[in-house]
Amino acid sequence: MSTRIEINKLVKVFGKGRAAARAVDGIDLTIESGELFFLLGPSGCGKTTLLRMIAGFIDPTEGAIRFDGKDVTHAAPNKRNTGMVFQSYALWPHMSVAANVAFGLKVRKISEPERSKRVKDALAAVQMEAYASRKPTQLSGGQQQRVALARAIVVRPNVLLLDEPLSNLDAKLRIELRSQIRNICKSSGITTVYVTHDQKEALSMADRIAIIRDGRIEQLGTPSELYRRPRDRFVAEFLGETNFIKGEATANGDSLSVRTPAGELTAARLDHSPDSGEVLCSIRPESIRLVEPGSPASLPGKRLETTYLGETAQHLVELKGAVRVKIAELNPPELRLDPARAPTEVAIAIDPSDVVVLPKA
Ligand code: ATP
């Protein structure tokens, strides 16, 4: 059974008087049953504090937390049926993998035959059956992390809480484990709350993401909503590389015309786009195309630099008004990579749906 989590006006203040710090500053949030939900934000934004209040390790200063309508705001961790996985695995070194996974079932007084079956199933879910009798010190970091996950899911929690579970692993293993963890969470249907500061992890795994800044939710949405339609500069920058171009916007039916020092940009009108006045356009490097100079609706510029990265080339182009943009070109043609033949005079084109108009920062 999985659980719907409702969080109302949640606040956590650490310290008193002048030294008081609002680590979580009035969060309202509903996480649906079975959802894989991410809390994403820079270091110190309050995401771990929020996760620990959901787990019951930290007592909120104000507000409420409900699991399926039941108030658990001040309930002890062991009364919430949550499973938690920490950054530092926290496996017991003297116990075998199977004993580590079985521990929570023993505490819950689950009888032996049932215990063995559930340990076997949980280890199978993380593809670690073959390692049941090993000690944690005989496992790689990725294997230890999978055992920690098995230990959390074996007790069949209603809510799974993951605190930067991949941060101690190397880059290749992190990418491998992303899809494994997502598959385990989705196939078991457990409501999962996952804390990370790694935007790629969140974009590749989440059903929905809350971007947290200074203890508040800056924006909430699916990965593509947040990446393609950020609401402000902070979210646009936090989720990946982008180009910012300042300009003056005028509404034009369904679109906006933005006068910039580099020329006129046309942008699709979004719900939260300002209609007029000074604005900031956010344009992702991969959404800018290099086109023939003089092409319709293009902006002329000079190519200053090209860096070849195999699958992509990164170009630095200076437009009119000394506006510089980064462009990521997938599968770049040879010509553009040859310094002797590559043209310096270029032009760029951008689809209106790729120009995101933000309030001036
Ligand atoms: P990180 O990614 O670095 O773990 P985070 O977003 O998880 O950061 P939190 O650990 O939730 O951030 O901390 C939020 C703020 O609350 C920080 O400014 C932190 O210093 C402060 N804080 C956290 N725990 C305590 C505590 N026990 N006492 C006092 N201040 C605390």
Q: Among 225, 183, 172, which residue's Cα sits nearest to residue 203?
A: 225
Residue 35 CA to ligand 1 center (angstroms) comes to: 25
The pTM assigned to this predicted structure is: 0.91
The predicted-structure confidence for 223-270, as pLDDT tens digits, reads as follows 999 999 999 999 999 999 999 999 999 998 889 999 999 999 999 988
Mean pLDDT on 87-95: 85
Angle among Cα 206, 46, 42 to the nearest 5 degrees reads: 65
Residue 23 CA to ligand 1 center (angstroms) comes to: 6
Rounded Cα gap, residues 95 and 101, in angstroms:
10
The predicted-structure confidence for 46-58, as pLDDT tens digits, reads as follows 999 999 999 999 9
DSSP letter at 151?
H
Residue partners of 253: CB distance under 8 A and separation at least 6: none
Residue 332 CA to ligand 1 center (angstroms) comes to: 44
Residue 216 CA to ligand 1 center (angstroms) comes to: 13
Q: Is 215 close to ligand 1, i.e. is its CB under 6 Å away? A: no
Predicted local confidence at residue 338, as pLDDT: 80
The total of other beta-carbon atoms located within 10 Å of residue 43's CB is: 7
Predicted local confidence at residue 252, as pLDDT: 86
Topology of domain 5-228 in CATH is Rossmann fold (3.40.50)
Contact 354, 283 (CB under 8 A): yes
Q: Is 321 close to ligand 1, i.e. is its CB under 6 Å away? A: no
Compute CA distances 353 → 255, 272, 350, whole Å.
Answer: 9, 14, 8
- Which position has the token pair 């390790």? 57
Residue 87 CA to ligand 1 center (angstroms) comes to: 15
Which atom of ligand 1 is least distant from the CA of 48?
A: 7
Rounded Cα gap, residues 22 and 97, in angstroms:
40
Task: Supply the Cα-derived Rg of the chain in whole angstroms.
Answer: 25
The predicted-structure confidence for 22-70, as pLDDT tens digits, reads as follows 999 999 999 999 999 999 999 999 999 999 999 999 999 999 999 999 9
**Residue nearest ligand 1's atom 5 by CA:** 44
Residue 343 has pLDDT above 80, yes or no: no
Confidence of residue 180 (pLDDT cuts 50, 70, 90): confident
Predicted local confidence at residue 18, as pLDDT: 87
Confidence of residue 133 (pLDDT cuts 50, 70, 90): very high
**Residue nearest ligand 1's atom 2 by CA:** 43
- pLDDT: is 174 or 324 the higher one? 324
Topology of domain 241-359 in CATH is OB fold (Dihydrolipoamide Acetyltransferase, E2P) (2.40.50)
Every domain range in the chain assigned CATH 2.40.50.140: 241-359
> Sign of the C-alpha dihedral, residues 65, 70, 74, 80?
negative
**Residue nearest ligand 1's atom 29 by CA:** 14
Residue 46 CA to ligand 1 center (angstroms) comes to: 6
Question: Residue-wise over 314-349: b if at least 16 C-beta within 10 A, else e?
Answer: bbbbbbeeebebbbbbeebeeebeeeeeeeeebbbe
Contact 281, 265 (CB under 8 A): yes
**Exposed (0-12), middle (13-18) or buried (19+): which is 118, by Cβ within 10 Å?**
buried
Rounded Cα gap, residues 51 and 56, in angstroms:
9
Mean pLDDT on 268-280: 87
The predicted-structure confidence for 160-172, as pLDDT tens digits, reads as follows 999 998 887 788 8
Of 12, 39, 45, 196, the one to substitute when testing ligand 1's pocket (max ligand atoms within 8 A of C-beta) is 45
Confidence of residue 1 (pLDDT cuts 50, 70, 90): low
Every domain range in the chain assigned CATH 3.40.50.300: 5-228
The predicted-structure confidence for 181-205, as pLDDT tens digits, reads as follows 899 899 889 999 999 999 999 999 9
Predicted local confidence at residue 76, as pLDDT: 94
Q: Is 23 close to ligand 1, i.e. is its CB under 6 Å away? A: yes
Residue 45 CA to ligand 1 center (angstroms) comes to: 7
Tokens of 91: 């496996």
Residue 309 has pLDDT above 70, yes or no: yes
Mean predicted lDDT score pLDDT of the chain: 92
Q: Is 137 close to ligand 1, i.e. is its CB under 6 Å away? A: no
Predicted local confidence at residue 8, as pLDDT: 98
**Residue nearest ligand 1's atom 19 by CA:** 44
Q: Kindly state the helix (H) or strand (E) to which residue 211 belongs, with its residue range.
A: strand 208-213
Confidence of residue 125 (pLDDT cuts 50, 70, 90): confident
Predicted local confidence at residue 89, as pLDDT: 72
